[in-house]
Amino acid sequence: MKRFLLMLLCVFAALIGANAKQFVNLTPLPKQMIVNEGQYTLPKSYTIGAALLADSLQKEAMRFAEAIQVATGCKGKLTKSKKADIMMIVDASIAHEGYQLSVTTKGISISASTARGFFYAFQSIKKIMPANVMAGLSIKDAQKILPWYKTTKRPEVPCVEIEDEPRFWYRGFMLDCGRHFFTVDEIKQILDAMAIYKMNYFHWHLTEDQGWRFEVKKYPKLTTIGSVASDCRMTDMVKGEHYWLGKPYGPYFYTHEDCKEIVEYARNLHIEVIPEIDMPGHIMAALAAYPEFSCNPEGEHKVQTYQGGVWTDVLNVGDPKAVQFARDVLTEVMDVFPGQYVHIGGDECPTNAWESNAQCQEHLSNLIKEGKVKNLEKHRFRPLQSYFIKQMNDHIKARGRKMILWNESITAGGADLDIIKSTGATIFCWNPCQQGAAIAASMGLDAVITEWGPGCYYINRKQHDGEGEPVAAGTGRKSDQLPAVYAYKPVPDKVTDPAIKKHYIGVQATFWTEHVSDIQYFNYLAFPRFLAVAEAAWTPEEKKDFESLRTRFTADTLLLDLTGRLYGKHFIAK
Ligand code: ACM
């Protein structure tokens, strides 16, 4: 009996030994992943079985081969043979963004149905290889950055069997370039990070009270005047304090060529760019340039220098010329940005200026008489915003595009829900986030979750309440910290009705720049919460595991270091 037990123990120990898992550093976690023993070593010269595939799929293979060559020196070439080192198999039964990846000691096989699926498979391969591969650096160049960087001599891919597809088809990231400006190269770095973590929509907040950043040829003063603030509140991350620049900030804006360059760069990473032109509020920079479109053209209008706040100087939606101005701007936006979505803001728009403006008063009473908006006792002027949104939607829809709005369009007191419903807009829900999403879904509108409150997807907020944390939005309370962001459920358990649930189309990490005036402070606040939102976007809820995220983030600090990005160190695994 004793001998039998001992034997059983030995078998058990052998089994555990055989299954002892190697660490595979893949974020977001795939839908299914089995980690096996061993690695596949990429030969110095290897083949990819893609030569018979469509051009778009060959392109993915070529891009992968280029990246591998830079990082490892291994040369890949496409072959028609079915005996390639890396086989690419088109399988129409696999979901649009999904892929299957098999890495054995003998080779790699990828199946997908689209270029995007293959792209994500290649991203996964690069991600589970040594960090210099995803960083796009040779070992030598990596060692110039981190002299102690070491990896195996030969490029190895751990043996895995992966079946993957995202939880949500909308996986977004928003950057506010209105309050502070980020260069084209800096935006490309952010797009690279999005692609590493398989995010697919870049929501580009291009206009604010503090700066108009999109060149509009028909209205040149938008950038000659609207992109320059007389001063600007900056943040010194090292000192952790604000300071005033003490001179004009700008002109800072993106030309049409800049925008097209970003769109193209993003397209190669399977990311769609969503331009946002915020209207009818948050538009002071435009009114500084064209005061005739405000509610008091004779008054003072200036590009706002104070970085936060909600201001009452809003577009005169009762003036047909101002409404046409908004249409004209969107026309140029749609000329430059080819994606399906156009975001027109609609958040935080006080109605005070409309209430005391004769054109708006007359416009409202005409709309009420014509039965086009409701005659409300309270929030009487809010329907003007709903009607303006409808006017913009007619214009956007005529170009075959889809409109996006912030949740105030349906949650602000007096918002005309019938009008908004008729637009079919997608609602970006931030505050009150879940209430906004529930209303949107009940109206048959799609909702994207970008929670501002506890469990915060507003990853510009302070990430910790420890001493010495640089100034940022909020106090770094627990509910804004990484574990809370990771634990947040974008679709609450109580949402079970499939007809409602299908409208929760995705999640977004959002980054406002009131307190963030440079890319390194951006990086510091964004990482690691960026990973937490990316995993919420991709990984099935039941597969998520905070300790695992923490381990993977800790491993990714190498990638972040190699790519010169700062990050918060509060939750690094010991
Ligand atoms: C917002 O945070 N004002 C959308």
154 shares its domain with 184: no
Candidate of 209, 406, 410, 450 to mutate for ligand 1, largest count of ligand atoms within 8 Å of Cβ: 406
Residue 308 has a pLDDT of 86
Q: Is the pLDDT of residue 33 over 70?
A: yes
Q: Is residue 373 part of a domain?
A: yes
Q: What's the CA gap between 432 and 512, in Å, rounded?
A: 17
Domain range enclosing 267:
170-562
Q: Same domain for 280 and 233? A: yes
**190 and 153, same structural domain?**
no
221 contacts: CB under 8 Å, gap ≥ 6: 289, 290
**Cβ 178 vs Cβ 208: under 8 Å:** yes
The predicted model gives 545-560 an average pLDDT of 98
Could you write out the three-class secondary structure of 287-338?
HHHCHHHECCCCCCCCCCCCCCCCCCCCECCCCHHHHHHHHHHHHHHHHHCC
Q: Does residue 321 contact residue 309 with C-beta atoms inside 8 Å? A: no
Rounded distance from Cα 365 to ligand 1 centre (Å): 30
pLDDT at 11: 39
Residue where one domain finishes, among candidates 164, 196, 220: 164
What would the pLDDT profile of 141-165 be if each residue is shown by its tens digit?
999 999 999 988 788 999 999 999 9
Rg, Å, the chain Cα set: 26
In a domain, 19, yes or no: no
Quick count: other Cβ atoms within 10 Å of Cβ 462? 21
Q: Which residue has the tokens 């595009």?
A: 401
Is position 15 within any domain? no
CA 571 to ligand 1 centroid distance, Å? 27
Question: Looking at the predicted structure, is the pLDDT value of residue 242 above 50?
Answer: yes
3-state secondary structure of 5: helix
Q: What is the mean pLDDT of the chain?
A: 95
**pLDDT on residue 8:** 38
Coil/strand/helix, residue 561: helix
Distance between CA atoms of 558 and 574, rounded to whole angstroms? 15
Residue 97 CA to ligand 1 center (angstroms) comes to 30
Mutate which of 179, 210, 278, 347 to test ligand 1's pocket (most atoms within 8 Å of Cβ)? 347
* Residue 424 structure tokens: 């079919």
For 56, other C-beta atoms within 10 Å of its C-beta total: 12
Question: Which of 132, 164, 196 is the C-terminal boundary of a domain?
Answer: 164
Query: What are the pLDDT digits (tens) for 78-106?
Result: 999 989 999 999 999 999 999 999 999 99
CA dist 416 and 374 (Å) reads 7
Residues 140 and 178 in one domain: no
Q: Which CATH number is 92's domain given?
A: 3.30.379.10
CB of 212 within 6 A of ligand 1: the answer is no
User: Torsions phi, psi of 358, nearest 5?
Assistant: -60, -40
Number of structural domains the chain divides into = 2
Kindly report, residue by residue over 260-287, the tens digit of the pLDDT. 999 999 999 999 999 999 999 999 999 9
Q: Which helix (H) or strand (E) holds 559?
A: helix 546-562
Q: Which SS3 state, helix, strand or coil, does residue 507 take? A: strand
Centre of ligand 1 to C-alpha 165, Å, is 30
Cβ of residue 430 lying under 6 Å from some atom of ligand 1: yes
Q: Give the pLDDT confidence score for residue 157 in this predicted structure.
A: 98
Where does residue 413 rank: exposed (0-12), middle (13-18), buried (19+ CB within 10 A)? exposed
Q: Tell me: pLDDT of 19 over 90.
A: no
- CA dist 205 and 512 (Å) reads 9
8 Å CB contact between 230 and 300: no
Angle, CA of 495, 498 and 501, to the nearest 5°: 50
pLDDT at 18 over 90: no
- H or E segment to which residue 39 belongs: strand 32-41
Q: Is 125 within 8 Å of 103 (Cβ atoms)?
A: yes
Q: What is the pLDDT of residues 37-91, one digit of tens each?
A: 999 999 999 999 999 999 999 999 999 999 999 999 999 999 999 899 999 999 9
CA distance 76 to 48: 7
130 and 241 share a domain? Answer: no
**Does residue 27 belong to any structural domain of this protein?**
no
Q: How far apart are CA 155 and CA 530, in angstroms?
A: 28
pLDDT at 124: 98
Q: How far apart are CA 542 and CA 362, in angstroms?
A: 55
- How far is it, in rounded angstroms, from Cα 552 to Cα 535? 11
Helix or strand holding residue 449 (H, E): strand 447-449
Residue type for 450, please?
T
Q: Does residue 232 sit within a domain?
A: yes
Residue 6 in any domain: the answer is: no
- Does one domain contain both 309 and 444? yes
**Taking 90 as the threshold, does the pLDDT of residue 122 lie above it?**
yes
Cα separation, 9 vs 136, in Å, equals 46
Nearest CA to ligand 1 atom 2: 430
For ligand 1, whether the C-beta of 504 sits within 6 Å is no
Same domain, residue pair 488 and 504: yes
Please write the tens of the pLDDT for every residue from 332-390.
999 999 999 999 999 999 999 999 999 999 999 999 999 999 999 999 999 999 999 99
Q: Which atom of ligand 1 is nearest to the CA of 282?
A: 3
| Region 167-178 average pLDDT | 98
Q: How many whole angstroms from 345 Cα to the centroid of ligand 1?
A: 8
Tell me what the mean pLDDT of segment 549-572 comes to. 98
Do 223 and 345 share a domain, yes or no?
A: yes
Q: What is the pLDDT of residue 154?
A: 85
Beta pairing partners, 504: 447
455 Rama class: left (phi>0) / alpha (psi -120 to 50) / beta: left
Q: Are residues 287 and 344 in the same domain?
A: yes
Say which DSSP state 169 is in: S
Is 494 found in the same domain as 387?
yes
568 located within any domain: no
Model confidence pLDDT, tens digit, residues 279-319: 999 999 999 999 999 999 999 999 999 888 899 999 999 99
Half-sphere exposure of 461 (CA within 13 A, CB side): 26
Domain boundary among 145, 164, 183: 164
**pLDDT class of 21 with cuts at 50, 70, 90:** confident
Q: Is the CB of 406 under 6 A from ligand 1?
A: yes
Shared domain check, 536 and 399: yes
Nearest CA, atom 1, ligand 1? 347
Q: Please check whether residue 279 is in contact with residue 344, taking contact to mean a CB–CB distance below 8 angstroms.
A: yes
What share of the chain in percent tops pLDDT 70? 97
Looking at residue 233, the DSSP 8-state letter turns out to be E
CA 248 – ligand 1 centroid, Å: 26
**457 within ligand 1 shell (Cβ under 6 A):** no
Q: What is the CATH number of the domain that holds 368?
A: 3.20.20.80
Q: Is 121 within 8 Å of 58 (Cβ atoms)?
A: no
In the structure, what pLDDT confidence band is assigned to residue 20 with cuts at 50, 70 and 90? low
How confident is the model over 386-439, as pLDDT tens digits? 999 999 999 999 999 999 999 999 999 999 999 999 999 999 999 999 999 999
Q: Would the CB of 165 count as within 6 Å of ligand 1?
A: no
Question: What pairs with residue 102 in β-bridges?
Answer: 109, 161
Give the residue among 87, 134, 88 at the shortest CA–CA distance from 114: 88
Give SS3 for 481. Answer: coil
pLDDT in tens, 448-468: 999 999 999 999 999 999 999
Residue 368 lies in a domain: yes
Tens-place pLDDT, residues 180-204: 999 999 999 999 999 999 999 999 9
Question: Mean pLDDT throughout 470-483?
Answer: 98
450-453-458 Cα angle (round to 5)? 45
The answer to whether residues 160 and 175 belong to one domain is no
Ligand 1 binding pocket includes 451 (Cβ within 6 Å): no
Pocket test for ligand 1, best of 431, 456, 511 (most atoms within 8 A of CB): 431
Section 480-486 average pLDDT = 98
Instruction: State the amino acid at position 533 in one-letter form.
Output: V
Q: Tell me the C-alpha distance between 418 and 440, whole Å.
A: 12
Cβ atoms < 10 Å from Cβ of 421? 15
